[in-house]
Amino acid sequence: MPHGPLAIGTQLLGQQPTRAIPESGYPWDEHVPPPGRDATLLAVVPIPGTQTSLAIVGYAISTSSGSGSGSGSGSAVDTVTVNRPAALIAGVQTITGTESDPSQSIFLDWRGFGTPVIGDSDWVQATVTSSGSFSAAMTIDHAGAQGTMFYRIGSGSTIAAWSGTPS
């Protein structure tokens, strides 16, 4: 059932969708990479029993070029969890988290408004251990005003991890 810019449905490769046209009016297949091109599927999943409300899971998607030699299995690329401190305090605060692929760089950015882009100078590269734990000293500013912690994997897309109001 379409809702806003989203469409929910499935399609097997090589078959036409039964009815998967999002409300934007663009056919479903215009949003999917053509055969032979790779893409990333992001899924938001809850984390039960933690203070973190959700995690973003990235899956590599490889479409076959029709030659039968397509690569990729749709396996998870990297799962990142950015922990929200129990006490969010204005000033320099260590932000921690984990990722499933410690070979990937993690960058963090705290914003009171807007969404950071890759070229912004206030991204902080986290220190990642071989087990996938990471930490970064972040300047949390604007006490009493809500802000958002963003992260990105390497030069990937900016993702909102959580929001909070520092004291």
**Calpha distance 9→32 (Å, rounded):** 13
Cα gap 39→159, rounded to integer Å: 17
pLDDT attached to residue 52: 60
Q: What is the pLDDT of residue 68?
A: 34
Contact partners, residue 12, CB within 8 Å, separation at least 6: none
pLDDT score for 77: 76
CATH topology of domain 81-164: Immunoglobulin-like (2.60.40)
pTM above 0.85, yes or no: no
> What pLDDT does 69 receive?
29
Give yes or no for a contact between 151 and 161, defined as CB atoms under 8 angstroms apart. yes
Please write down the HEC assignment for all residues of the chain: CCECCECCCCCCCCCCCCCCCCCCCCCHHHHCCCCCCEEEEEEEEECCCCCCCEEEEEEEEECCCCCCCCCCCCCEEEEEEECCCCCCCCEEEEEEEEECCCCCCEEEEEECCCCCCCCCCCCEECEECCCCEEEEEEEECCCCCCEEEEEEECCCCCEEEEEECCC
What residues does each domain of the chain span?
Answer: 81-164
The phi, psi pair for 29, rounded to 5°, reads -70, -15
**Per-residue confidence in pLDDT tens, the chain, 167 aa:** 444 444 444 444 454 554 544 445 555 444 555 555 555 556 666 666 666 656 666 655 554 443 332 223 333 578 999 999 999 999 999 999 999 999 999 999 999 999 999 999 999 999 999 999 999 999 999 999 999 999 999 999 999 999 999 99
CA angle centred on 92, ends 155 and 147, rounded to 5° = 65
Which pLDDT belongs to residue 65? 40
Pick from 64, 121, 143, 129: which is nearest to 101 by CA? 129
